Structure formats: structure tokens, C-alpha cells
Amino acid sequence: EGVIGDLRIVDTLVRTGLASDAVRLAAESRHWRELYVAAPVDEDPDAPVIEGYIDLAVLESGPDGPGLIIVDYKTDAVADDAERAAKAARYRLQGATYALAAERATGLPVRRVVLCFLAVDGATDVEVDDLPAAMAEVAAVARELSGRSTGT
């Protein structure tokens, strides 16, 4: 929407995204694009609900059974690795929200959240640091915002 004059850039970003490790894994696995997800943050029937649209969810087989990888595309302009890391830190709770909602909705563990930064010179995958802690922070913030400061 509103990118008619930027079609070459959009085409380049799409092509770099297709070459990223996370997207190549999705091409070889069961996956879902633009997946709406919503779930309560805990078992309490009055628990706050979190929701969002996951760009790409990949089902991964592992020694402990199936799990999910969540991929979120980012088109932020970044000058260097330090700026990319700073932007990834700002997106940490967004990725953790998707992970928490996906786990609660599917019963499958989310093994990692990958922020796929797209640029004309290539894509860079950055994993959300300490995903379990980030998910716990999301749950705590959701409870606090709903007036429920305690929960399971």
C-alpha cells in the first residue's frame, strides 16, 4: 500500500527475505503466513488476552517433539550491527508476545523468535534474546495493564 514508486525496492527486499535462513527453513517445513493468534496469558478465565499477526510460523521437529519458530520481518533501515541490535531490543517484547500467544493457543513450545531484517544488500536474522524471560515480561505487563498483577 502506497509503495507504487518503490516497487524495485520492495522486489529486492522480498528476494532477500526469501534467501534468509529462516525463510529457507520454512520452505522445507510446514508453515503458516500471516497467522492471526490470540490467547489468554494464563489459565485464569479472567486473564488478559494478547493477540497479533505472526508474519511466519514454522513447525520444526526436534528430539523433544514438535515446536514453533516465529519469524517477524523488519524493513527498518539500519546502518550497522549495533543499530540492528538496538532495534532488535525494541522489538523483543513484540516477538515475545507472538511467542506467548502461539504457545498458549497451540500447546506447542516456541523454540525461538527470529527478527528477519530485510535490506537491499541482504537479510539478517536476529533471534530474540532470552525468550522465556521476555515472554514472562509480556505476561506480567499484560496482567498489570488489566489490573491483575498476580497470575500463574
Tens digit of pLDDT for each residue in 36-54?
999 999 888 889 999 999 9
Residue from 10, 53, 17 nearest 33 by CA: 53
The least confident of 78-82, 90-94, 148-152 is 148-152
pLDDT at 18: 81
Please state, in angstroms and rounded to a whole number, the distance separating the CA atoms of residues 69 and 74: 16
pLDDT at 152: 45
CA 145 from chain centre, in angstroms, equals 22
pLDDT at 76: 86
Please state, in angstroms and rounded to a whole number, the distance separating the CA atoms of residues 127 and 11: 24
DSSP letter at 48 equals P
One-letter amino acid at 69 equals I
Residue 124 has pLDDT above 50, yes or no: yes
CA 25 from chain centre, in angstroms, equals 15
